Amino acid sequence: MSPFWTNHIRQVLASLEITLSHVLFTLWHSDHTGGVPDLIAHRPECTAWINKCDPYHNQKAIVDRDIFRVKGATVRAVFTPGHAHDHICFELEEENALFTGDNILSHGQSVFEDLGLFTKSLWDMANPNCQLGYPAHGDMLRDLPQKMFKVIK
């Protein structure tokens, strides 16, 4: 992450009076994790959570269905391999929304390592309560179930 983005993130967090305490990874690809060392350097007490068998120092493993709570938000982990072996989504209960990572994108379709696991994960993600989707790449999805069933077909 460039110094510009590091400073921008610091300014946004400060302006919103947000204290960063955790970073949740959807998967261990550089486009998702590249700026984390800078965030951790800014907030050394921050803990990074990742769905990995062998997390690095100051990282903690995420287990399927783990729940993370902060003021105003409850996030539940949903293990969703297929795009990558360590892929995980996060359900934001207060918004009936799902952070879809790279499994569901706003434009086009994700690539996958294992079609069978990917398809199973799409069905596991299909929570009828989740109408909104926040993909790792692209715009918010206002009708997540429709997009998911389109990808499954």
Q: Which active-site residues does the annotation give?
A: 31
Give the sheet arrangement for strand 47-50, strand by strand.
22-24, 47-50, 59-61
Please state whether beta strands 59-61 and 88-92 pair in parallel, antiparallel, or not at all (unpaired): unpaired
**CA-to-CA separations, 105 to 3, 60, 109, 137, in angstroms, rounded:** 28, 27, 6, 6
